[in-house]
């Protein structure tokens, strides 16, 4: 479609989402457009929407939705900052929320671009201009992108004829951000456009991802906040194995517990000590028994970072290597002498990312394991269970808005919102006696500080209690 046709179609879509253009109390956006022949020749062709407080012409401030078109063919859609910088939106871009909203709308390809720090308008996304320069079908955009590149926060190259739904979703997200929708139909239209694009993306298959890592690496750490389903998924995967062994690490877990050692024999009238194998050796023995039949054994180490790992693992640390090849060095492991773990023995370890007091995992161990992070997500409850999806998403929204990348590891998982029955009293008690102490602890440690007021309002609204006395 031509530039004029694209502009008209985008504007029609904007009106469906609640656009009221112009100046005055009833307007919610100023429509800017510069698609003259001169703008294409010299670079600078664009059209889009900015805050209603801005002038109709000239430089402007703050966050806008912009389309950088060509005379025909692909265009660049972008979230930008006006060349005059920030006036009202600095608080908006200083929290991770806006970046995360548009990160969800990205594709993992070379046609999507995202600035790491949205408050930074002093440097550009280098890959964006490089891609434009190297694509013959995008050469008409080179001068335009070069002119505005440092003000572009997020961008995506789109063919309007094939992927107009992408433009619609990006525009809908901006409309939602600015509160354009004043009636149910407009707000529903925004959500529909966003959801349509999200459904085009592949959903997260946690079990499939972990199984794939086990096939390639054999040793996997599954990490995440409490309640995200780390142990649940590990036990579910264990059902596919001939045999599985489970140990939960804690502060007192020792080498003797995991590998083997000398222990007193209490069954005898006399004090006798004998060699006893730990769970690792038991798993090795099980794997050796079924090796010839092609069957596999799984060892699950729950809460691996709760123990003193150098003391617990000792020299067996050497065995956690997934590469093939022969080894001549033998290692005494309990009552066995081995050079490597059996090829049919896989290991899943779980790790709590929210407990700040736990041991730090060193780089040598990190190299030997694949690391998979489970993020909190909605679940489908089993029969007889109830999942409070609305309340879960309220917590998700707060973390998405305010949490740093590291603080996302603190977000309570869906199990906190799962009960045996739809009982308002049970969920209220869960809020007061489980979730509120957890959030208080985070705040006391200096975490999630920008979210304090939002959490306070949430607990008061949902449970009638004050977060702060």
- The CATH number assigned to the domain holding 350 equals 3.40.50.300
Give yes or no: residues 177 and 213 share one domain. no
Q: Which two tokens stand for residue 183?
A: 């009636």
Helix 160-178 crosses helix 3-16 at what angle (to 10 degrees)?
40
Ordered per-residue pLDDT tens for the chain, 469 residues: 889 999 999 999 999 999 999 777 889 999 999 998 888 888 889 999 999 999 888 899 999 999 999 988 899 999 999 999 999 999 999 999 999 999 999 987 889 999 999 999 999 998 998 999 888 888 889 989 999 999 999 999 999 999 999 999 999 999 999 999 989 999 999 999 999 888 766 668 899 999 999 999 999 999 998 889 899 999 999 999 999 999 999 888 888 888 887 777 777 677 777 778 888 889 999 999 998 898 999 999 999 888 888 888 878 877 877 665 566 666 677 777 777 788 899 999 999 887 655 445 667 777 888 999 998 988 888 888 899 999 999 999 999 999 998 898 899 999 999 988 778 889 999 999 999 999 999 999 999 999 999 999 999 999 999 988 7
Q: Are 350 and 225 spatial neighbours (Cβ–Cβ below 8 Å)?
A: no
Residue 66 lies in a domain: yes
Burial 57-75 (b: 16+ CB within 10 A, else e): eeebbbbbbbbbbbeeebb
Q: Is residue 95 part of a domain?
A: yes
Handedness of CA 33, 38, 39, 40 (dihedral sign): positive
Task: Determine contact, residues 232/238, Cβ cutoff 8 Å.
Answer: no
Give the three-class secondary structure for 224: strand
Domain end (from 168, 200, 232): 200
Q: Residue 381 falls within a domain, yes or no?
A: no
Are residues 16 and 157 located together in one domain of the fold? Answer: yes
CB atoms within 10 A of CB 55: 12
Is residue 163 situated within a structural domain?
Answer: yes
- Report the length, in residues, of the chain: 469
Q: Residue 6, Cβ neighbours under 10 Å: how many?
A: 21
- Alpha carbon distance 87, 149 (integer Å): 20
Are 399 and 446 members of one domain? yes
Say what the pLDDT of residue 428 is: 93
For residue 68, what pLDDT is reported?
A: 95
Q: In angstroms, rounded to a whole number, what is the distance separating the alpha carbons of residues 442 and 467?
A: 12
Question: Quick one: pLDDT at residue 361?
Answer: 61
Whether 380 is covered by a domain: the verdict is no
Q: Which residues sit opposite 331 in a β-bridge?
A: 338
Q: Are residues 153 and 236 in the same domain?
A: no
Task: Give Cα separations from 2 to 35, 65, 229 (angstroms).
Answer: 11, 20, 50
Please tell me whether residues 152 and 300 are part of one structural domain.
no
Q: Among residues 177, 200, 223, which one ends one of the domains?
A: 200
| Residue 379: inside a domain | no
> Does 165 lie in the same domain as 289?
no
Q: What angle do CA 295, 304, 449 make, to 5 degrees?
A: 135
Residue 326 pLDDT: 60
Instruction: Please report whether residue 70 resides in a domain.
Output: yes
Contacts of 333 (CB under 8 A, 6+ apart): 259, 260, 280, 281, 284, 316, 319
Same domain, 9 and 135: yes
Q: Is 423 exposed, middle or buried (0-12, 13-18, 19+ CB in 10 A)?
A: exposed
Structure token pair of residue 52? 């209603």
Q: How far apart are CA 75 and CA 376, in angstroms?
A: 35
Give yes or no: residues 223 and 334 share one domain.
yes
Copy the structure tokens of residue 45.
């062709």
Q: 31 has which bridge partners? A: 49
Query: Which domain covers residue 164, as residue numbers?
Result: 3-200
The tokens of 191 are what? 């959500």
Q: Would you say residue 233 lies in a domain?
A: yes
346, 373, 400 - which closes a domain? 373
Q: Are residues 369 and 400 in the same domain?
A: no
If one counts the domains in the chain, the total is: 3
**Considering only CA atoms, which of 315, 342, 339 is closest in space to residue 328?**
339
Q: Are residues 20 and 167 in the same domain?
A: yes
- Is the same domain home to 190 and 100? yes
| Alpha-carbon gap, residue 77 to 164, rounded angstroms | 11
Q: What single DSSP character describes residue 18?
A: T
Same domain, 230 and 186: no
Q: Using an 8 Å Cβ cutoff, are 182 and 93 in contact?
A: no
pTM (2 d.p.): 0.77
pLDDT at 367: 81
């Amino acid at each position: 479609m031509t530039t004029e046709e694209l502009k008209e179609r985008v504007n029609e879509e904007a009106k469906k989402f609640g656009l009221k253009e112009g100046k005055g109390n009833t307007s919610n956006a100023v429509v800017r457009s510069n698609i003259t022949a001169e703008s294409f020749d010299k670079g600078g062709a664009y059209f889009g929407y900015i805050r209603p407080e801005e002038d109709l012409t000239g430089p402007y401030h703050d966050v806008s939705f912009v389309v950088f078109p060509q005379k025909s063919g692909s265009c660049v859609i972008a979230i930008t900052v006006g060349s005059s910088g920030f006036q009202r939106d600095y608080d908006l871009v200083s929290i991770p929320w806006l970046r995360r909203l548009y990160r969800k709308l990205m594709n993992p390809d070379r046609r999507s671009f995202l600035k790491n720090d949205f408050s930074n308008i002093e440097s550009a996304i280098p890959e964006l201009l490089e891609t434009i320069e190297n694509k013959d079908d995008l050469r008409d955009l080179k001068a335009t992108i070069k002119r505005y590149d440092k003000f572009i926060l997020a961008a995506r190259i789109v063919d309007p004829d094939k992927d107009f739904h992408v433009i619609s979703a990006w525009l809908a997200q901006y409309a939602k951000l600015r509160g354009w929708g004043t009636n149910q139909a407009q707000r529903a239209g925004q959500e529909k456009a966003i959801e349509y694009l999200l459904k085009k993306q592949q959903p997260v298959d946690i079990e499939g991802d972990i199984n794939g890592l086990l096939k390639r690496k054999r040793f996997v750490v599954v990490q995440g906040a409490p309640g995200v389903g780390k142990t649940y998924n590990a036990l579910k995967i264990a059902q596919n194995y001939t045999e599985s062994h489970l140990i939960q690490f804690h502060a007192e877990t020792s080498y003797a517990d995991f590998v083997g050692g000398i222990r007193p024999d209490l069954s005898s009238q006399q004090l006798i000590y004998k060699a006893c194998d730990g769970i690792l050796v038991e798993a090795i023995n099980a794997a050796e028994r079924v090796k010839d039949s092609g069957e596999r054994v799984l060892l699950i180490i729950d809460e691996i970072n709760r123990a003193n790992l150098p003391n617990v693992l000792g020299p067996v640390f050497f065995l956690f290597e997934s590469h093939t090849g022969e080894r001549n060095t033998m290692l005494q492991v309990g009552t066995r002498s081995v050079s490597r773990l059996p090829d049919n023995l896989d290991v899943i370890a779980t790790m709590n990312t929210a407990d700040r007091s736990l041991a730090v995992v060193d780089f040598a161990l990190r190299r030997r394991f694949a690391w998979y992070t489970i993020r909190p997500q909605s679940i489908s409850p089993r029969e007889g269970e109830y999942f409070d999806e609305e309340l879960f998403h309220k917590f998700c929204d707060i973390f998405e808005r305010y949490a740093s990348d590291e603080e996302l590891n603190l977000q309570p998982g869906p199990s906190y919102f799962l009960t045996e029955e739809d009982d308002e009293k049970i969920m209220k008690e869960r809020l007061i006696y489980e979730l509120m102490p957890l959030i208080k602890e985070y705040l006391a440690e200096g975490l999630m500080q920008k979210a304090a007021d939002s959490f306070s309002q949430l607990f008061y609204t949902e449970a009638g209690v004050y977060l702060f006395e």
